[in-house]
């Protein structure tokens, strides 16, 4: 039974801590939020003013030209469609392949798991590089097809390891033992008991995979020649980089008469910020849905100690 004097001290101490925590949170959010705000207002501002640092709190030289350009370009919409296809299709395959494997590897009684896990981790360290992969895809007929966005990245070892750790911690052996008594098979246990209890994990891993697909710029860059298959990131980056490169393509841009190198560069700056907004908007909308799965204390009651 704590004396009233102690409770008061603790209450005061606790309140102080709460204030400190609140202050830290506010500071963090503001520090992170400002540059984001900057991106937003820069996308509506005159690019020369932006580059010379005259855009601070509000848009200046208000212009929609950047957005007009981006939206009017039909490649953008094609890119959007492609990206959604690859992200949704890819993530589905990812989850179907990764989650069962992660679960099986999380069971401590599964003896080969150490070797298998090491085999997986090894691939994170060592890679043959771009060219053998290119040759492999060439032989498999994956080059210049949509499958190249989905199949080679079916398993991301990092995600798999996180999922495994999660399963190991949150789905104890006793649960399976209890279920076994009822005649549930291992696979049944996975689908009917473990997965529903791991809503948060599935949401997070699904989100990770989805974003990895969404941000993937490299695949389209190297393995695709048909421009109609390119995802959004490639379309956007090519618009920016085309107008920014000052060395190699100097001659081609020089031949481009009415528009000069300067105009091209200005164009790139203009759309640089708008591009971020256009390409990340869907993801921002997605997260609240994912967060819904972070329920508290769902696991409880399944196992009594």
Partner 1 sequence: MAVPLGGARNFAPPEGENVDVHEMEQELSVQAASRQSQQAGQPFSRESTDRPRPTKTLVRHLAGYWQHWLMVLPAMLFVLLFAYVPMYGLRLAVFEYDPAEGLLGGDFVGLKYIQMFVTSPLFGQVLTNTLRISLGTLVLGFLAPIILALLFNQIAGGNTKRIAQTITYMPHFISVVVIVAMINIFLNPNTGLLGAALGSNVMAEPELFAPVYWLSEVWQHAGWSAIIYLAALSNVDTNLYEAAKLDGAGRIRLIRHIDIPAILPICGILLILNLGQVLSVSFEKALLMQNALNLSASEVISTYVYRVGILGNQFSYATAIGLFNSVINLTLLVIANTIAKRVSNTSLY
Partner 2 sequence: MSSPRPKHRHYSRRGAALGGVLACAVSLTLASCAGSDAADEKTDASGRPIVQVLVAQNPDQMPVAEMGWTAQVEELCECAIEWESVDATGFGEQRAAMLAAQDVPDISISAFSVEDTQRNPYFEDLGTHLDQMPNLREYFDTVPTARQTVATTDDEVFSVSSYMGAGYEVPGRYMIVNKTWLEALDLEPPRTWDELHDMLVAFKEQDPNGNGKADEIPLNINQLSIDSFGGFASPFLLLNSAGLTTHFATGSMLQGIYVEDGEVRNALVSEEYREVIGFLHQLMSEGLIPEDALTADSSQYSARNQADGITPTVGMVFGWGASDLGTEFEDQYISIAPPKADESMADDEVVWDASADTYVFTSNIAMSSSATNKEAAYRVIDALFSEEISVQQFRGTMPSFVTDDGDGTYTVTDHFWEASNDREALEGGFAGWISPDITLANEINIARLQKMDANYQDVYQNIDWENDVIPPWARPSEEDTNTIANNATNVLNYAMQMTASWLQDGNVDEQWDEYVDQVNTLGGTQNVELWQQIYDEARQK
- The DSSP line for 103-169 is HHHH-TT-TTHHHHHHHHHHHHH----HHHHHHHHHHHT-TTSGGGGTSTTS--HHHHHHHHHHHHH
Q: How far is the CB of 296 from partner 2 (least distance, A)?
A: 32
Q: How far is the CB of 264 from partner 2 (least distance, A)?
A: 7
Figure out which of the listed residues 69, 85, 117, 264 binds partner 1, where binding follows CB under 8 A.
Answer: 117
- For partner 1, the closer of residues 255 and 288 by Cβ is 288
* Contact of residue 71 among partner 2, partner 1, none (CB under 5-8 Å per partner type): none
Three-class SS state of 55: coil
The interface with partner 1 within residues 48-87 (CB under 8 A) comprises 50-54, 56
* Contact of residue 178 among partner 2, partner 1, none (CB under 5-8 Å per partner type): partner 1
From the number of C-beta atoms within 10 Å of its C-beta (0-12, 13-18, 19+), residue 211 rates as: middle
Question: Could you say whether residue 218 binds partner 1 (CB under 8 A)?
Answer: no
- The DSSP line for 263-305 is HHHHHHHHHHHHHHHHHHHHHHHHHHHHHTT--SS-STTSS--
* Contact of residue 239 among partner 2, partner 1, none (CB under 5-8 Å per partner type): partner 2
Question: Could you say whether residue 14 binds partner 2 (CB under 8 A)?
Answer: no
Figure out which of the listed residues 56, 227, 291, 295 binds partner 2, where binding follows CB under 8 A.
Answer: 227
- Within 10 angstroms of residue 94's Cβ, the number of other Cβ atoms is 24
Query: For residue 248, how far is the Cα from the chain centroid?
Result: 32
Point out which residues bind partner 2 (CB under 8 A).
47-52, 130-131, 134-135, 138-141, 181-183, 218, 221-223, 225-227, 234, 237-239, 241-266, 269
């Amino acid at each position: 039974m704590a004396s009233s004097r102690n409770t008061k001290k603790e209450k005061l101490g606790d309140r102080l801590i709460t204030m400190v925590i609140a202050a830290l949170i506010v500071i963090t959010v503001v520090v992170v939020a400002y540059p984001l705000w900057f991106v937003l207002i820069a996308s509506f501002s005159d690019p020369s003013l932006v580059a010379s640092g005259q855009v601070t709190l509000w848009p200046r030289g208000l212009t929609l030209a950047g957005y007009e350009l981006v939206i009017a370009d039909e490649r953008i919409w094609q890119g959007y469609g492609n990206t959604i296809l690859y992200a949704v299709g890819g993530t589905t395959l990812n989850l179907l392949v990764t989650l069962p494997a992660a679960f099986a590897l999380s069971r401590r009684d599964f003896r080969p798991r150490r070797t298998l896990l090491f085999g997986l981790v090894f691939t994170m360290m060592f890679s043959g590089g771009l060219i053998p992969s290119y040759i492999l895809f060439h032989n498999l007929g994956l080059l210049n097809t949509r499958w190249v966005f989905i199949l080679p990245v079916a398993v991301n070892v990092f995600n798999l390891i996180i999922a495994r750790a999660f399963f190991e911690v949150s789905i104890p052996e006793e649960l399976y033992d209890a279920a076994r008594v009822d005649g549930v098979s291992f696979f049944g246990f996975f689908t009917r008991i473990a997965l529903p209890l791991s809503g948060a994990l599935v949401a997070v891993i699904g989100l990770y995979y989805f974003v990895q697909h969404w941000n993937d710029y490299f695949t389209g860059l190297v393995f695709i020649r048909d421009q109609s298959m390119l995802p959004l990131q490639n379309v956007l980056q090519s618009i920016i980089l085309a107008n920014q490169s000052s060395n190699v393509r100097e001659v081609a841009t020089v031949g481009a008469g009415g528009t000069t190198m300067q105009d091209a560069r200005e164009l790139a700056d203009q759309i640089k910020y708008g591009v971020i907004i256009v390409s990340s908007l869907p993801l921002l909308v997605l997260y609240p849905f994912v967060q819904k799965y972070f329920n508290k204390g769902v696991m409880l009651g399944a196992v009594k100690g």
